[in-house]
Amino acid sequence: MAGVGVAVLTACQTSEETRLDLDDVAAATVTLEPGHCAGVVVEDGRHVLTAAHCVQPQDRRVTLSLLDGKQLEGDYVHVDRGRDMALIRLDTLAPVRPLEVAAAVPTPGAPLVFVGRNDRPGAPQEALLERLAPCPSLPDVPAALFTTVRGRPGDSGAPLVDAQMQVVGLVHGGAACRIAAPTAGLADVVARLSRGGPALARKAPPPPR
């Protein structure tokens, strides 16, 4: 995959006004305390995406840690177990540049970047989307992202970004945490909630398979 990183960085520098880089991705990635999962600040800077399987049924509030150690608090306002997506509304605006959520699912062969959790120092990983396919633990997702990411337990909810530094998926699981839940369509949910729309009802966990 030589050259993937160069291509990614070149693509995200096409506009001075909107340019984001891997430092921005790392800064937008948060750790859910007490350190069991990750998430990412998106869209308006008042919302964080994470994996729904990181959320216990009784959870209503959550504390998040940023890369610099600062902590923020927020409420779970959308939990979708079938898509393994949860949305947190922060009490205050996050002091980072939020990432946009990609409008479409990436195509197989697309280069991806994974920076991992902010409490686990390490170099960003260049990865590829190998294929789109169903995943039994994502019953409401017709095409999960099967990638070459090399994750570890606890990386759930961490973002995968494309060449434009847009969030295309969140780590879901699988061998070496290589399966990601696609985030396409979540930008509309964030926009509705940021306009004061009601929180969505929580969906029950999918039945055992």
Asked if residue 172 is part of any domain, the answer here is no
User: 36: domain CATH number?
Assistant: 2.40.10.10
What is the identity of the amino acid at 14?
T
Contacts of 178 (CB under 8 A, 6+ apart): 146, 147, 148, 149, 150, 151
Q: How far is it, in rounded angstroms, from Cα 105 to Cα 125?
A: 20
Average pLDDT of span 20-25 = 93
In the chain, what percentage of residues exceed pLDDT 70? 85
Q: How far is it, in rounded angstroms, from Cα 54 to Cα 57?
A: 10
Asked if residue 146 is part of any domain, the answer here is no
- The pTM of the full predicted model, rounded to 2 decimals, is 0.85
Asked if residue 151 is part of any domain, the answer here is no
Asked if residue 3 is part of any domain, the answer here is no
CB 190 within 8 A of CB 42: yes
pLDDT at 99 over 80: yes
Asked if residue 84 is part of any domain, the answer here is yes
Q: pLDDT band for 174, please (50, 70, 90 cuts).
A: confident
pLDDT at 175 over 60: yes
For 143-198, give the secondary structure using H, E and C.
CEEEECCCCCCCCCCCEEECCCCCEEEEEEECHHHCEEEECCCHHHHHHHHHCCCC
* Domain interval for residue 80: 24-98+186-194
Asked if residue 126 is part of any domain, the answer here is no
Cis omega before residue 34 (within 30°)?
A: yes
Question: Into how many domains does the chain fold?
Answer: 1
Asked if residue 15 is part of any domain, the answer here is no
Q: How far is it, in rounded angstroms, from Cα 138 to Cα 181?
A: 8
Asked if residue 69 is part of any domain, the answer here is yes
CB 100 within 8 A of CB 43: yes
